[in-house]
Structure 1
């Protein structure tokens, strides 16, 4: 009887937490740092289920480069691509992948048309990966979710084959042709598709012994008989976890491990070679860390030196890059919180206009709490703003989603914008609308008029309550936060997975040379390119003669007309 530990994690994005990330790296190396009485198996494999290179503030600056040294320090044995790993284009992902010291796999995403010696699989993905451990041969292959084309802006022209069909076929190939004793699927898809894959691969040559998944940001486990599609439930019958870690004795078939360096699963397989030469998993034990930061011994974990060095290196690179000149402001930009959270601002107009133009939506709404510089950015014809200034304006990397919303719902949202709690950041900066407001009226009855300004027709008209409009907005308000529950049940046209972030949008609009250089010949897809061209045309008025940097001059336009002063 032999024991093999498989340590699994998925969906990690931010590297700025110098307390958490190095401690996670140490725990991945030695789980007994936090698990009392745990003795690691002599044989170990570390598996990652995708989404590392994006999205994050660090990614917006370094385009995934912040992850290379860190991932290489984790001793990963095999990884599956996630949809966000393609956020900076396939060429950039290939460039990043070639610098990692472990293989990537993605088997069911294939090009529609292969030209010449072009690879059939995307980026540097392999169809499968095999590993020899303790005299046993393990086969791994990656699977993408069928939702990828709808939420991955820069996915190359490809087909996503049915994961269940491809999974069963690949498992049979690994057993019969590659002589694998055990087959493990490493997936980046929603739980519903993992469950479908599980049910299609329970027996025969196409059997999959274990499914290690990502994409859902939850810690969970499902057995062969479980059919609960809710990823927020760790297992049917177990809704609330008493502590930051949990365990399960038995044969879990689907395992997911949370997100952003907090979750980790340790799967112990007890395997044996039978008299006929075949191999069998005789027993399985699963320990899952739900939130590493809440483990009793968290602060006693020694930070991993390699991870610390990797983070320090990326922070140094970011510090150098954020000083890069980006854009000239031909007018002072008003970003003081006390003003931008109660009245129209030229800076707020600029951000809202860029978002509306990028998506070509009827309207854009930007909650003022997402604009964080809290200062006037002074006009200067001689000293350009740098990347640091843009990150100061929009530091959160907020996803900008698109909803289809009725005029009556828009009116409700605008009343919430000017409610008594407006100072918390819910006050809206708008594009495609003009409103008048009286702060002295009762809450809920302060909006006096709303006009829509169509892009094709300069003549505004009163907002029609029974008409549907496309509205770009931060996901924060689309999800109902800050009192915007009116948006929760409305139709989503572009969701978080397929969204551009406010931070990345401004960096792309102002810094085309910067972004294309770091993409290593990567290309944006046609829709994104067209959106960026529209946004540039909307907010860039000229280019500086000496260095070619763009020039902006956003103005106040009476979009938010205050009939009387703020009644605080």
Structure 2
């Protein structure tokens, strides 16, 4: 048989090229990967909400990364792990007010030359018009392999990307916490689904290893460390914080970067194939810059890898004055916007009392929600541990201190009995069962010996995140902390003294996070399925809660915030002493 040399030539060239590319792989390479996560709008060295300078921001990242690239840009990667579209007034302004040009967040991240990022839940909370625009404006891939189109099952965002540094092929898989369906109204993610992270990783890692054969595989997961959080466990489908589970159960990752939980973490796990996986979580709000040093030494066709991690405190890094000057016009524009006056408070309003019991602060939110919706009952909470509105002129800035994120406002149907069950669950999260006035009022985390646990800042840790506390307005009730969980709440009447009926259906004002199942009040407290939650929604208000707070102040013009006194904790003396004791633990 006669062979045609010219027909065989392209194949021969390809084989030779592959052989040469394999042989041309470097024997030893050192790379440095930098990462941020949950930046939440900390673009400037100035906290626009609190109207004061901040010690760390992306200005510090800019200084550090420019210096690193100046030494050897071919050895550096910069990654972000999501939640950069919400958190500061800057985000709100360029997401919803001034939308004519490229979103400022996209401008900043392009300026910093990020190489890839994952999609966070608060990025999705900004809504389709925002993130569908931003994804086109970014000069790098925005990744989420487990966010798919409902109609086709295909990825909505790019699932992974491949980068090259010093002859090393690096694959980066992005994923997003699938807990979004529990927290956000579907209108914000219409046409999308959020798949289980473990199942998604199994599919994409297999595909990447077969088709790409990377030298280094990185997981960029906007999901936290604690897979037992909020009553979930390792077997919970679509676990909110499945990052560590993926590292353990899906063979192939060398490095996994976590986020979402606002925790700093450096650790190692062993995957099911017996390989070491390094895990890093760089916390949030530009507090740290994650630094991962990777040394690769060639062993035949594979590389042996030595990976070390470090968290660089950005407050100790100088600020990039060139960066700050470049974005100064945008900062000043937002600063002028949020300084706009909307009313006057005759008394200072502090959120601290709301951590312990009835407060003028939470009742201000209740009053605004009841006014906006006309509902019978309102559920709300304190969303900042140290929220404060000073006596005097109230500005748009103050509203951002009350409500950091764009939570929507729902009217939902609850029976009287279900209102009681909801409150039982809420106060089970918040309050300890007191046996004397010397006991703690609040529930704190304890060790195996029953001793209270402190975090790395020396503060005692609440057993439940404070933003999952909840209280009601529109009804008169008491909470007896001497009784066990589930038997503490007694509802006496409506606020106006009229009859409260367990069998009647009431209209309840509630924020979208809680109304979609956030905190477990509806799922675990009432046993509602997701379908039941959706069926109970009577109306979705067109604006977010912050907007209705501003409208309430604009309408009243001058307010003297007072506690409604709709509820109280008993025994009163035990509550007083427990509050005094726990206040010192938390705030002093």
Please report the TM-score for the alignment, with normalisation by the length of structure 2.
Answer: 0.58
Q: Which residue of 2 aligns with 1:85?
A: 123
Q: Does 1:177 align with 2:211?
A: yes
Cα distance, 1:101–1:309 mapped onto 2, change above 3 Å? farther
Please report the TM-score for the alignment, with normalisation by the length of structure 1.
Answer: 0.60
1:459 to 498, 520, 529: 498
d(CA) in 1 for partners of 2:376, 2:289: 40
1:304-323 correspondence runs (5 A): 304-309=320-325, 312-322=328-338
Report the CA distance between 1:92 and its aligned residue. 0.6
Q: Deviation per CA, 1:351-382, whole angstroms, max 9, x where unpaired?
A: 213346679684445669977443356xxxxx
d(CA) in 1 for partners of 2:154, 2:426: 49
Q: Does 1:27 align with 2:61?
A: no
d(CA) in 1 for partners of 2:125, 2:178: 17
Q: Does 1:261 align with 2:310?
A: no
1:187 to 211, 221, 230: 221
Q: SS at the partner of 1:530?
A: strand
2:168 to 136, 140, 146: 136
Report the CA distance between 1:319 and its aligned residue. 2.4
d(CA) in 2 for partners of 1:472, 1:163: 30
1:50 to 82, 107, 119: 82
Q: Does 1:406 align with 2:415?
A: no
Cα distance, 1:527–1:287 mapped onto 2, change above 3 Å? farther
Q: Deviation per CA, 1:453-507, whole angstroms, max 9, x where unpaired?
A: 27xx98244999xxxx9896999xx9xxxxxxxxxxx964499xxxxxxxxxxxx
Cα distance, 1:94–1:70 mapped onto 2, change above 3 Å? same
d(CA) in 1 for partners of 2:68, 2:295: 18
Q: Does 1:374 align with 2:413?
A: no
Stretch deviating more after TM superposition (102-111 or 143-152):
143-152
Cα distance, 1:258–1:310 mapped onto 2, change above 3 Å? farther
Cα distance, 1:5–1:351 mapped onto 2, change above 3 Å? same
Cα distance, 1:183–1:336 mapped onto 2, change above 3 Å? closer
2:539 to 505, 509, 530: 530
Q: Which residue of 1 aligns with 2:319?
A: 303
2:296 to 268, 271, 274: 271
Q: Deviation per CA, 1:38-70, whole angstroms, max 9, x where unpaired?
A: x87851111111111113343344438452333
Q: Which residue of 2 aligns with 1:59?
A: 91
Cα distance, 1:335–1:48 mapped onto 2, change above 3 Å? same
Q: Which residue of 2 aligns with 1:102?
A: 140
d(CA) in 1 for partners of 2:542, 2:66: 46
d(CA) in 1 for partners of 2:538, 2:336: 27
d(CA) in 2 for partners of 1:289, 1:542: 43
Cα distance, 1:259–1:528 mapped onto 2, change above 3 Å? farther
Q: Which residue of 2 aligns with 1:441?
A: none
Report the CA distance between 1:85 and its aligned residue. 0.7
Q: Deviation per CA, 1:411-446, whole angstroms, max 9, x where unpaired?
A: x98xx9xx9xxxxxxxx997314589xxxxxxxxxx
**Residue correspondences, number:** 443
d(CA) in 2 for partners of 1:388, 1:267: 37
Q: Which residue of 1 aligns with 2:396?
A: 387
Cα distance, 1:348–1:372 mapped onto 2, change above 3 Å? same
Q: Does the 8 A contact of 2:35 with 2:78 survive in 1?
A: yes
Stretch deviating more after TM superposition (281-290 or 126-135):
281-290
Q: Does the 8 A contact of 2:254 with 2:277 survive in 1?
A: no
Q: Which residue of 1 aligns with 2:151?
A: 113
Q: Deviation per CA, 1:127-156, whole angstroms, max 9, x where unpaired?
A: 221112212222222112232211344333
d(CA) in 2 for partners of 1:104, 1:51: 12
Cα distance, 1:148–1:556 mapped onto 2, change above 3 Å? closer
Unaligned runs of 5+ in 2: 1-27, 48-52, 97-102, 228-241, 410-418, 438-469, 479-489, 525-533, 568-588
d(CA) in 1 for partners of 2:318, 2:264: 24
Cα distance, 1:319–1:470 mapped onto 2, change above 3 Å? same
Report the CA distance between 1:217 and its aligned residue. 1.9
Q: Which residue of 2 aligns with 1:211?
A: 256
Q: Does 1:76 align with 2:114?
A: yes
Cα distance, 1:431–1:334 mapped onto 2, change above 3 Å? farther
The structure with the greater share of residues assigned to helix is 2
Unaligned runs of 5+ in 1: 34-38, 228-249, 378-384, 420-427, 437-448, 479-489, 496-524, 544-548, 563-568
Q: Does the 8 A contact of 2:121 with 2:180 survive in 1?
A: yes
d(CA) in 2 for partners of 1:144, 1:267: 21
Report the CA distance between 1:98 and its aligned residue. 2.4
Cα distance, 1:494–1:24 mapped onto 2, change above 3 Å? farther
Report the CA distance between 1:93 and its aligned residue. 1.0
Cα distance, 1:460–1:208 mapped onto 2, change above 3 Å? same
Q: Does the 8 A contact of 1:349 with 1:429 survive in 2?
A: no
Report the CA distance between 1:71 and its aligned residue. 1.9
Q: Does the 8 A contact of 1:335 with 1:372 survive in 2?
A: no
Q: Does the 8 A contact of 2:150 with 2:191 survive in 1?
A: yes
2:248 to 199, 202, 227: 199
d(CA) in 2 for partners of 1:313, 1:555: 36
Q: Deviation per CA, 1:224-255, whole angstroms, max 9, x where unpaired?
A: 4389xxxxxxxxxxxxxxxxxxxxxx954332
Cα distance, 1:156–1:529 mapped onto 2, change above 3 Å? farther
Q: Does the 8 A contact of 1:353 with 1:535 survive in 2?
A: no
